[in-house]
Amino acid sequence: MATTTNYGWTTPDDTALVKDGASAIRTLGTSVDTTTKNLNPETTLGDIAYRSSTSNVNTRLGIGGTGTVLTVAGGVPTWATAGGGGLTLISTTTLTGASVTLSSIPQTYNHLQLIVQNWIPVNDNANLRFRFNADSTASRHVSNSMIGDVASSFGSTSAQFSAQQDNGTSQALIVGNVFNYTNTTTWKFYNVHAIGNNSTTTTEANYVTILQGAYNQTTAISSIELFANTGNLTSGTVLLYGVK
């Protein structure tokens, strides 16, 4: 009997009898069906297939869990937890009102990065401040300039997060990092780089500042409240990223 070039399916010889046609077609169809199934073992939405050690037989790899990535282990593809270095956007929020609280922050990342763009306070020269875990207990937050050695006394109910900002024009940018925020054995600290518009000459920066601060509690950080040190928030965008 003749066979096909690639998959070796049996086909009638040129001299085969017409009366055997039905049987020959059925045999060929069964072979095609078997091969097709071997090459497409997926059964569920999102499944993928890869070549097995057997020629023309693929292996099904079920869809991975949310956030997992494809890697290789033991010479075959497999899903695994994402490695270090990745940024995941957790939330995008518009600043408004007296305060904005980012709550229920996922506890699955190593660090947090908070980016505030184009924020505008109601009052000229206001600073943006923040508070961890809605904790307004006195003497738990501290912040200061990173220029030089500055004694840090936990003397506040919140911490500074920005340079002073004009209340009409904003090209302000704030990038802050909260490190190891899920651990429950150490105090927490953050650093921030910030630039804001001068309230008199808005084409100038009021400050290009580097700040640092801390929170003297061992509780994991699950919420961050942002507010102006004076007056309401007019606008601005807050992006919260999880860092692996």
Partner 1 sequence: MTTKPQVKIVNCETGEEIVRDATAAEIAQIKVDADNAAKAKAEAEAKETAKSAILDRIGLTADELKTILG
Using CB under 8 A as the criterion, which residues of the chain lie in contact with partner 1 when the complex forms? 90-91, 93, 96-106, 127, 129, 136, 156-158, 227, 229-230, 232, 240
Q: In what order do the strands lie in the sheet with 159-160?
A: 159-160, 128-132, 224-228
Give the pair of three-digit tokens for residue 117: 């763009």
Q: In this complex, which beta carbon is closest to partner 1, that of residue 61 or of residue 181?
A: 181
Distance of closest approach, residue 94 Cβ to partner 1, in angstroms: 8
Tell the smallest beta-carbon distance from residue 167 to partner 1 (Å): 15
Token match 């085969």: residue?
Answer: 16
Alpha-carbon distance 140 to 125, whole Å? 25
In terms of CB distance, is 101 or 216 closer to partner 1?
101
Cα–Cα distance, 109 to 243 (Å, whole number): 6
| Least spacing, CB of residue 189 vs partner 1, in Å | 20
Angstrom distance (rounded) from CA 49 to CA 61: 6
Query: Which residue, 95 or 172, has its beta carbon nearer to partner 1?
Result: 95
Q: Which of 71, 99, 66 is nearest to 83 (CA)?
A: 71
Smallest gap from Cβ 228 to partner 1, in A, equals 9
| Closer residue to partner 1 (CB): 61 or 120 | 120
